[in-house]
């Protein structure tokens, strides 16, 4: 028994380049749900909600499972915007004050690897979840000494991991530490299903939503510019400057070559570049809410992929050279304009464009793409 919980500290830092290349990997792409707070933050906020909620030390109602967060402060470092960065937070450190005076400090980041420990401090002692804190195999209880001159009493417990199966071993094993332990999570889900439960009592839907809401509030505070720095990324970049690469026209019947032969400076076309994408939805998709939502995502690329895209027009009767709207029976056209071919190439490599393209694929029966230099 550590008494009433008064303080919690947790950290989760990994070197982002160990996970994937910067800035192309999804962990760096804000538009794809990347960022240290989104990717690593749930492992930090979760223990705080559990510790302060379950003990009653974080709120006035000891029986309440959900602690109230009265104040939140966050600072951190934002990545550069695309294409030189992913626009997400590279690191963030937060301090939360819960009702009743409980405090929690947390750090999440892609700039360095940290011990990843969770320390829960109460009026009678401290409980430490040794790294990796989100899937520990060792826990230490340090009980407060009877006086300032006496020694505290420490007790540690070790929880060995389950043995990996031959199939897991032969396939190369897991890519994250202590993943064998997730068998306990799978077993808990099985027990809940067998008992007719729609959720796990150890971690409820309410708690999941509270954790997600807390992280989004922290991200908003961080991204508003008042509590962060935004500078060229300290991480090694694999895409600066953006390469001049012609996109795949294998499904296009005609196109005009506008890709410059040298990387700098990019020629500014007199009237710009028109990038036309004609779409034919699958039967049953055409005219549906799903199709309309997909077209709305295409229109949204004007903002998502700024400043590369000059304008976007999407619809049934968008003007396009060669009447591409009816090519191969296509019924919709998305027309994008760019000032330079390099802007077009940067757009094609942008995670926002790639995400929308991946979502569109299963909905389409055919697609027709063409580039035209405008007069």
Confidence of residue 83 (pLDDT cuts 50, 70, 90): low
Note whether 320 and 187 are same-domain residues.
no
Quick one: pLDDT at residue 65? 62
Summarize pLDDT for 152-187 with one digit per residue, the tens: 899 999 999 999 889 989 998 898 899 999 999 999
pLDDT > 90? residue 7: yes
Quick one: pLDDT at residue 317? 54
Is 241 inside any structural domain? no
Note whether 16 and 151 are same-domain residues.
yes
Is 130 inside any structural domain? yes
Please give the tally of structural domains in the chain. 2
**Where residue 361 sits, what CATH number does that domain have?**
3.30.70.100
The C-alpha atoms of residue 225 and residue 31 are separated, in whole angstroms, by 18
Note whether 323 and 174 are same-domain residues.
no
Quick one: pLDDT at residue 328? 59
Summarize pLDDT for 242-253 with one digit per residue, the tens: 332 233 333 333
Quick one: pLDDT at residue 224? 73
Note whether 217 and 329 are same-domain residues.
no
pLDDT > 70? residue 234: no
Is 251 inside any structural domain? no
User: Of 230, 253, 284, which one is at a domain's C-terminal end?
Assistant: 230
Note whether 160 and 43 are same-domain residues.
yes
Q: In what order do the strands lie in the sheet with 273-281?
A: 311-315, 332-338, 273-281, 364-373
pLDDT > 80? residue 208: yes
Beta-strand pair 118-122/69-78: unpaired
Is 334 inside any structural domain? yes
Confidence of residue 232 (pLDDT cuts 50, 70, 90): very low
Is 240 inside any structural domain? no
The C-alpha atoms of residue 161 and residue 156 are separated, in whole angstroms, by 16
Determine contact, residues 350/83, Cβ cutoff 8 Å.
yes
Note whether 43 and 162 are same-domain residues.
yes
Confidence of residue 331 (pLDDT cuts 50, 70, 90): confident
Note whether 152 and 293 are same-domain residues.
no
Is 262 inside any structural domain? no
**Where residue 129 sits, what CATH number does that domain have?**
3.30.360.10
Note whether 201 and 70 are same-domain residues.
yes
Is 257 inside any structural domain? no
pLDDT > 50? residue 259: no
Quick one: pLDDT at residue 229? 46
User: Of 173, 203, 230, which one is at a domain's C-terminal end?
Assistant: 230
Quick one: pLDDT at residue 332? 84
Quick one: pLDDT at residue 228? 45
Summarize pLDDT for 12-68 with one digit per residue, the tens: 999 999 998 888 888 998 888 899 999 999 999 999 999 998 544 443 343 446 788
Q: Containing domain of residue 15, as a range?
A: 5-57+65-230
Note whether 138 and 41 are same-domain residues.
yes
Is 238 inside any structural domain? no
Note whether 12 and 82 are same-domain residues.
yes
The C-alpha atoms of residue 90 and residue 87 are separated, in whole angstroms, by 9
pTM: 0.61
Note whether 226 and 279 are same-domain residues.
no
Note whether 25 and 76 are same-domain residues.
yes
Q: Which two tokens stand for residue 365?
A: 């029966």
Q: What is the residue-wise DSSP string for 241-297?
A: SPP--PPP-TT-S-------SSSSSPP--SS-EEEEEEEEEPTTTTTSHHHHHHHHH
């Amino acid at each position: 028994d550590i008494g009433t919980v008064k303080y919690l500290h947790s950290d989760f830092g990994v070197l982002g380049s160990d996970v994937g290349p910067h800035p192309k990997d999804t962990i760096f792409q804000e538009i794809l749900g990347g960022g240290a707070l989104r990717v690593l933050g749930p492992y930090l906020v979760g223990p705080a909600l559990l510790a302060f909620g379950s003990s009653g030390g974080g709120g006035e109602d000891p029986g309440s499972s959900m602690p109230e967060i009265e104040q939140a402060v966050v600072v951190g470092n934002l990545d550069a915007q695309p294409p030189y960065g992913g626009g997400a937070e590279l690191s963030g450190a937060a301090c939360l004050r819960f009702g009743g005076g409980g405090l929690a400090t947390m750090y999440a980041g892609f700039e360095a690897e940290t011990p990843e420990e969770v320390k829960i401090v109460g009026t009678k002692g401290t409980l430490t979840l040794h790294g990796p804190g989100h899937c520990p195999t060792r826990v230490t209880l340090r009980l407060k000494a009877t006086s300032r001159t006496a020694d505290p009493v420490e007790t540690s417990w070790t929880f060995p991991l389950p043995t990996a199966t031959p199939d897991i071993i032969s396939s190369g094993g897991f890519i994250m530490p202590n993943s064998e332990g997730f068998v306990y999570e799978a077993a808990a889900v099985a027990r809940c299903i067998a008992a007719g439960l729609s959720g796990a009592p150890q971690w409820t839907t309410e708690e999941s939503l509270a954790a997600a809401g807390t992280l989004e509030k922290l991200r908003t505070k961080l991204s508003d510019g008042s509590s962060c720095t935004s500078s060229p990324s300290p991480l090694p970049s694999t895409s600066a400057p953006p390469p001049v690469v012609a996109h795949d026209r294998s499904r296009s019947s005609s196109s005009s070559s506008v890709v410059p032969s040298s990387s700098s400076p990019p020629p500014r076309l007199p009237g710009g570049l028109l990038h036309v994408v004609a779409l034919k939805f699958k039967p049953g998709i055409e005219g549906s809410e799903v199709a309309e939502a997909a077209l709305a995502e295409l229109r949204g690329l004007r903002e998502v992929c700024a400043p590369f895209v000059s304008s976007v027009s999407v619809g049934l009767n968008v003007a396009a050279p060669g009447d591409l709207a009816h090519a191969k029976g296509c019924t919709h056209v998305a027309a994008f304009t760019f000032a330079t071919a390099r802007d077009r190439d940067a757009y094609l490599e942008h995670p926002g464009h790639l995400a929308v393209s991946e979502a569109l694929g299963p909905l389409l029966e055919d697609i027709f793409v063409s580039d035209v230099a405008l007069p």
